[in-house]
Amino acid sequence: MDQTKQQEEDYGYNLFPERNSGKFQKGSIAESLFTFNHKCQVMLQFAMETSPYAKLLLGAMKSSGCAVYKDRHFSCEDCDGTVSGGFDATSSQIVLCQNNIHQQSHMNRVVTHELIHAFDHCRAHVDWFNNFKHLACSEIRAANLSGDCSFHNEVSRFNFGLKKHHQECVRGRALRSILAVRKVSREEAEKVVDEVFDTCFNDHAPFGRIPHDKKDANFAYRDFENRDRYYANL
C-alpha cells in the first residue's frame, strides 16, 4: 500500500472521497442542480441562522479571531455511508455528508458537533494527526456539548435508564468517532479516552454548561450574548 493511501485510511479521509477526487468543482452547474447538495445548503443555512448551539459557536469563534464563513468553511459532499460529517483540519473546513443528512434536526447536530472541533482547532491548536489525546479530547467535548447524547436522542436510539447515562453515551460516541478515523485497536482507543475523559468532559467552553437540550442552549446563547453587558455598564 502506498504512503498516500495509508495516510487516507489512517486519518479517515477514505470516508470522504470527494476530499481527494475532485469530482466536480464547488459552485459548478452540476453541483447547483444536484438535489442532495441543494437541500444540504438550505439546511446548513437554516442551522446557522436558527440553532442556538450553532449561533453560540459561530459567535465564540468570531470573538476568538476565527470567523466562520459558510462558503469557505463548509462543504456539502457525498461521503461513506457510515458518517454524517467531519472536520478537515488541513483546510479548516467542515464536511457535511449530503447523502446521509436528511432531516434538519440531524443537520443541526452535525453542524454543532463539527463546529466544536473547529472551535477547538481555533483556540487550542489541536495536533489532530500526531497527538491522540488531543483528538480524543475534542471528540469527548463534541459528544458532550453538541446534543448528541441528549435524552431525546438517546430515547430514539432505545438507550436510556442507565446510571450516569450521559457520561457513558459521551464516552461511547467519542470512542466510535475515534475508531472511524484512526486505525487503532479498541483497547488503545479506550485507554486514551479514559486518560483524558474527566478533564475534557468538564471543559464546557464556550457554552459554560452542558446544553442538554435546546432550552439549555438558548440560555447559554443568551448568556454569551450578554457577557460584556455588565462591564459596559460600569
DSSP string, 59-98: HHHHHTT----HHHHEEEE---TT-SEEEETTTTEEEEET
User: Is there a cis peptide before residue 206, judged by omega within 30 degrees of 0?
Assistant: yes
Among the options 114, 154, 168, 225, which is catalytic? 114
Look up 195 and say whether it is catalytic: no
Number of C-beta neighbours around residue 219 at 10 A: 15
> Distance between CA 171 and CA 175 in Å, rounded?
6
Q: How far is CA 17 from CA 11, 81, 93, 96, 179, in A?
A: 13, 11, 15, 12, 18
| Nine-digit cell string for 120 | 477547538
How many residues are there in the chain? 234
Residues with a catalytic annotation lie at: 114
